[in-house]
Chains A and B, each alone.
Chain A
Amino acid sequence: MKNEITRDVERVVLALDVNGEARQLLVAVHKTLLEVLREDLQLTGTKHGCELGECGTCTVLIDGRPELSCLSLPIQLQGRAITTVEGMASGSELHPLQTAFAELGAAQCGYCTPGILLSARALLEENARPSRDEIREALAGNLCRCTGYTKILQAIELAAERMR
Chain B
Amino acid sequence: MAEEHGARAMFVAGGTDLFPKLKRRQFEVETLIGLDFLPRVIRNGSTECAIDAGVTLATAAHDSHLQAGFTGYAQAAGLVSSPPLRNAGTIGGNLCVDTRCNYYDMTYEWRKAAGFCIKKDGDICLVAPSSPRCWAVSSSDTAPMAIALDGVVGLAGPEGDRELPVSALYRDDGIEYMAKRPAEVLTGLRLRKSANTRSAYVKLRRRGSIDFPIAGAAVAMELDGESVIGCRIVLSAVASYPLEAAAAEKFLKGKRLDQETIREAAELAAKPAKPLDNADLSHFWRKRMVRVVVEQAIQRVSDQRAGFGG
Contact = CB atoms under 8 A, between A and B. Distances in A.
B83 interface: yes
B284 interface: no
Interface stretch (B68-76, B84-92, B229-237): B84-92
Contacts of B16: 53, 68, 71
A51 B23 CA distance: 9
Given A3-B108, A71-B19, A140 B83 contact: yes
B4 interface: no
A71 B83 contact: no
B84 A52 contact: no
Interface stretch (A13-21, A59-67, A98-106): A59-67
Interface in B243-259: none
Nearest to A73: B15
A140 B19 contact: no
Contacts of B83: 66, 119, 137-141
B87 A53 contact: no
B20 interface: yes
A36 B12 CA distance: 19
Interface in A16-64: 32, 51-54, 56, 59, 62
Contacts of A70: 19
Q: How large is the interface on A (under 10, 10 to 19, 20 to 34, 35 or more residues)?
A: 20 to 34
A9 B108 CA distance: 21
Interface string A122-164: 0000000000000001111110000000000000000000000
Interface string A68-84: 10111101100000000
Contact of B15 (A54, A71, A140): A71
Contacts of B58: 65
B84 A67 contact: yes
A17 to B, nearest CB: 16
B20 A52 contact: yes
B212 to A, nearest CB: 11
Counting chain B residues whose Cβ lies within 8 A of the other chain, the interface size class is: 20 to 34
Contacts of A138: 83
Contacts of A62: 87-88
A67 B81 CA distance: 12
A65 B223 CA distance: 39
B25 A56 contact: no
Contacts of B36: 76
Contacts of B24: 52
Contacts of B307: none
Contact of B28 (A3, A67, A71, A119): A3
Given A53-B19, A59-B84, 11 more contacts: A3-B108, A52-B20, A67-B88, A70-B19, A71-B19, A71-B88, A72-B88, A76-B12, A139-B83, A140-B82, A142-B84
Interface of A: 3, 7, 32, 51-54, 56, 59, 62, 65-68, 70-73, 75-76, 119, 137-142
21 contacts: A3-B108, A51-B23, A52-B23, A52-B24, A53-B16, A54-B210, A56-B84, A62-B88, A66-B83, A66-B87, A68-B85, A68-B88, A71-B20, A71-B85, A73-B32, A139-B83, A140-B83, A140-B210, A141-B82, A141-B209, A141-B210
